[in-house]
Chains A and B, each alone.
Chain A
């Protein structure tokens, strides 16, 4: 019977390890030695947990098995790498031994079953991940770019379309702080495989010669410090995205080279005759008016036309009407998490009015800084108007001089503005005059004219 059992164990590739109550090793049979890559004599470990750290934490359970308080302890698919680094799966079963105070650990190599299970699980997971990736990309666009104004809806619509054409070059324009970098990342993440690189380079940050080396790469010895060859960022981006930020700062000679790359989709490293194919999507961003730069001769017209095929203009915050409140609420939630101030739940009506009335020359970046500052100092549940520190606004006549379709009564508007200025200044006439851009005497004259003195 013993011989038959040994034969069965060997046939089923099950090794047996005998151990004592203190978990010290007593014997490891030949099959277990083969499975665990142990030498023919000696083990190099003194106790069972040394050999199987998977049993750490389960020592009491093992002793319960030996004491007959528990039938067995089972650990399945324990991962082991053999000498060749190949992954093997082992099933461990702790049983009470025939001798008193002795236990048996049956080790079964279940690599075949494990690999099959891994393959099936992998396929199921990949399918779920693929479905999720599609869902994530769709939601990323609406989640990352906030707002419901027509201006931002237009941006979102365009990005959705652009994301379906991963090869198209894109020009992002807009004032500083309008989210061009964010838009570039959203375009990248919504159109590229998850592992595709996103490479960002600021065209204003490097001198001309370094920029050329960075973008196109160089061969060893191409210039004094070129001690070894290096691929350029356009090549390194692989099938991902290159963001050329502040493209308007690129010098005219480099503009010519960039145009050639966009036309040919090939690049030649400095000091090389060999052309390398460029597969990455190129997104250019600028806060300059490139048309004006073309007129002034500072930007190549042909490059402008090449970039302008797919152009997205990021709207300034002042063009986004009520969106400022939605973005402010989002930022408030972000900082509430970051600063652990979850009791702060929103803005008072006065604060909302102040957010809406400001012209935000620094756009979302300025709004973000404003909310961050308020969140650091606030101790209330709702941020109030006086907790919002706003930078001096550029005057924005377009916003205040909008004429309703039914027309307006200019004198009535003037009276209202004077009254508002007096209220904001605490009826201090000098300060009110300052707010209205008038001299004190002119204000006094108008107060008298409207009988408001």
Chain B
């Protein structure tokens, strides 16, 4: 409890192929920053962010302290990757709107994630909207993948910030309380 507000730590994972913008989405959400240069993530990098308090329903105010896991190595699934996923309350599954295989590839990644976290909510993200002037075929593939996992789909641009805070907020709203 912090001044009458209960603070709950929630672990969420960013899933997706290389260079879809997982790190950039976190940088935009946590520090409101964007770096143009791509630097591939190795291993796991954790960022933290305290969300705005909300009424948990029984008159008590609650606040989520998000532990956001930026995970590399999506081309494998072993004990180490399992350890990264374990205990996650939710995930943002990210595809690059300019690379169709990053949307279709989420099926395998999310299936692996669900074997470790069967009840975790997944929100599907089509990132790099600034590079794609149209809603193209990647969006359609992403919608299909999202539907197969019972998840929703959103479009973001870590570069411009469009849709980023809304996506994290939407995922937070789907996390199980308590």
Q: Does B99 contact A (CB under 8 A)?
A: yes
Q: Which residues of A contact B131 (CB under 8 A)?
A: 189, 194
The chain B residue sitting closest to A73, CB to CB, is B83
Within 8 A of A (CB), among B30-85: 36, 38-46, 48, 67, 72, 79-80, 83-85
Task: Determine if A56 and B84 form an interchain contact, defined as CB atoms under 8 angstroms apart.
Answer: no
Q: Does A165 contact B (CB under 8 A)?
A: no
Task: Determine if A121 and B40 form an interchain contact, defined as CB atoms under 8 angstroms apart.
Answer: yes
Q: Which residues of B contact A136 (CB under 8 A)?
A: 98-99
Task: Determine if A61 and B86 form an interchain contact, defined as CB atoms under 8 angstroms apart.
Answer: yes
Q: Does B134 contact A (CB under 8 A)?
A: yes
Task: Determine if B40 and A125 form an interchain contact, defined as CB atoms under 8 angstroms apart.
Answer: yes
Q: Which residues of A contact B11 (CB under 8 A)?
A: 56-57
Q: Which residues of A contact B9 (CB under 8 A)?
A: 56
Of A74-82, A256-264, A355-363, the one with at least 4 CB within 8 A of chain B: A74-82
Task: Determine if B133 and A337 form an interchain contact, defined as CB atoms under 8 angstroms apart.
Answer: no
Instruction: Tell me, rounded to whole Å, the shortest Cβ–Cβ distance linking B45 to chain A.
Output: 4
Instruction: Tell me, rounded to whole Å, the shortest Cβ–Cβ distance linking B53 to chain A.
Output: 21
Instruction: Tell me, rounded to whole Å, the shortest Cβ–Cβ distance linking A51 to chain B.
Output: 12
Task: Determine if A182 and B80 form an interchain contact, defined as CB atoms under 8 angstroms apart.
Answer: no
Q: Do A186 and B133 contact each other (CB < 8 Å), given the known contacts A56-B67, A132-B99, A337-B140?
A: yes
Distance between Cα atoms of A54 and B84 in the complex (Å): 8
The chain A residue sitting closest to B98, CB to CB, is A136
Q: Do A333 and B86 contact each other (CB < 8 Å), given the known contacts A74-B80, A89-B42?
A: no
Instruction: Tell me, rounded to whole Å, the shortest Cβ–Cβ distance linking A105 to chain B.
Output: 14
Distance between Cα atoms of A126 and B11 in the complex (Å): 30
Q: Does B150 contact A (CB under 8 A)?
A: no
Task: Determine if B43 and A78 form an interchain contact, defined as CB atoms under 8 angstroms apart.
Answer: yes
Q: Does B165 contact A (CB under 8 A)?
A: no
Digit string of B119-155 for contact with A (CB within 8 Å is 1, else 0)?
0000000000001011111011001000000000000
Distance between Cα atoms of A95 and B11 in the complex (Å): 24
Distance between Cα atoms of A121 and B133 in the complex (Å): 30
Task: Determine if B40 and A79 form an interchain contact, defined as CB atoms under 8 angstroms apart.
Answer: no
In the complex, which of the residues A53, A74, A121, A144 contacts B42, with contact meaning CB atoms closer than 8 Å? A121
Instruction: Tell me, rounded to whole Å, the shortest Cβ–Cβ distance linking A168 to chain B.
Output: 20
Task: Determine if A337 and B139 form an interchain contact, defined as CB atoms under 8 angstroms apart.
Answer: yes
Task: Determine if A143 and B136 form an interchain contact, defined as CB atoms under 8 angstroms apart.
Answer: yes
Q: Does B162 contact A (CB under 8 A)?
A: no
Q: Does B95 contact A (CB under 8 A)?
A: no
19 contacts between A and B (CB under 8 A): A54-B46, A56-B11, A56-B87, A75-B44, A75-B84, A77-B43, A79-B41, A89-B43, A114-B42, A118-B39, A118-B40, A121-B18, A121-B40, A125-B19, A143-B134, A186-B133, A189-B131, A189-B133, A334-B135
**A interface vs B, CB < 8 Å?**
53-54, 56-59, 61, 73-79, 89, 114, 117-118, 121-122, 125-126, 128-129, 132-133, 136, 143-144, 182, 185-186, 189, 194-195, 333-334, 337-338
Q: Other than A58-B87, A195-B36, give 8 A-B pairs with Cβ distance below 8 A.
A: A58-B83, A58-B86, A75-B44, A75-B80, A77-B72, A89-B42, A182-B134, A333-B140
